[in-house]
Amino acid sequence: MNLFNSINQRKSCRQYIDEPFSLAELEKIKEVIKSFEPLFPDVHLNYRFATETKGMFHVKAPHYLVISGKGEEGEQENAGFIGQQFMLWLNARGLGGVWLGASRDASKNRKSSDIIVIAFGKVEGSSNREESEFKRKDISEITNDTEDKGIKAIHLAPSGMNIQPWYFEKRAEKLLVYRQILKPPKSLVYKLTRVDMGIALCHYAVASWHYGADFDFQPGGSGPEKKGYEYFGHANIID
């Protein structure tokens, strides 16, 4: 399945047809999700489907995927990385999805270790848009190399409240990755920038694989300071 082509056409879908998948189809979808590459192979996540969820900015959909963990480090990033592969996979099949950062499982299955909800299903209308219709920061605000193929893919990545809390500094032999430290009032209402980083790195990974390069992200460590951001790690560059 070519996920790369979906990067520059997908959009968040908020209108769904009331035509749920069968249990067998949902089981197949779960197998597909489990087959996606993780960002951190040692950080394990659980996936379950829900039909009743609630929260602010909620979207009604036939299905919700709830990603949960155990409260360990790296889970949010992994959820973003794997969940975004699911989003691109949905788009490639003419289906749609939307991340729901403020929604919760409203059934008795809800857990305190639930990380994020994704609404998905068959969409009303198209799950695509033109590249010119993406609303994003100017690419020069998120990188020093506006022509880099991988960073162009990141530029179109979705993020909560469309904050795009990232910066990518291209150096000769590596890509330095930074996460924006939000300030109040945004920091009080939005806590999922680690999920966003996983999503951005997913787009970079999918572009790397598309162009025949390996994807290798090393989290943490120390890097040159950047005001308003924390150093998040480094990735290999795509030649």
Ligand X SMILES: Cc1cc2nc3c(=O)[nH]c(=O)nc-3n(C[C@H](O)[C@H](O)[C@H](O)COP(=O)(O)O)c2cc1C
To ligand X, the closest distance from the beta carbon of 41 in angstroms equals: 22
Q: Residue 121: CB partners within 8 Å, gap ≥ 6?
A: 16, 17, 19, 20, 21, 61, 62, 63, 95, 96, 97
Nearer to ligand X by Cβ, of 100 and 206: the residue is 100
Tell whether residue 177 is a contact of ligand X (CB under 6 A): no
Tell whether residue 195 is a contact of ligand X (CB under 6 A): yes
Q: Residue 4: CB partners within 8 Å, gap ≥ 6?
A: 153, 206, 207, 209, 210
Q: Which phi and psi (to 5°) does residue 98 adopt? A: -150, 135
| Contacting residue, 51, 113, 162, 187, with ligand X by CB under 6 A | 162
Contact in structure between 19 and 62 (CB atoms under 8 Å):
yes
Of 18-26, 147-155, 157-165, 224-232, the window that binds ligand X (rule: CB under 6 A) is: 157-165
Total residues binding ligand X (CB under 6 A): 20
Nearer to ligand X by Cβ, of 164 and 208: the residue is 164
Contact in structure between 214 and 150 (CB atoms under 8 Å):
no
To ligand X, the closest distance from the beta carbon of 172 in angstroms equals: 31
CA distance 209 to 142: 22
| Chain residues 58-97 in contact with ligand X, contact rule CB under 6 A | 59
Binding stretches for ligand X (CB under 6 A): 11-12, 14, 57, 59, 98-103, 134, 158-160, 162, 192, 195-196, 199
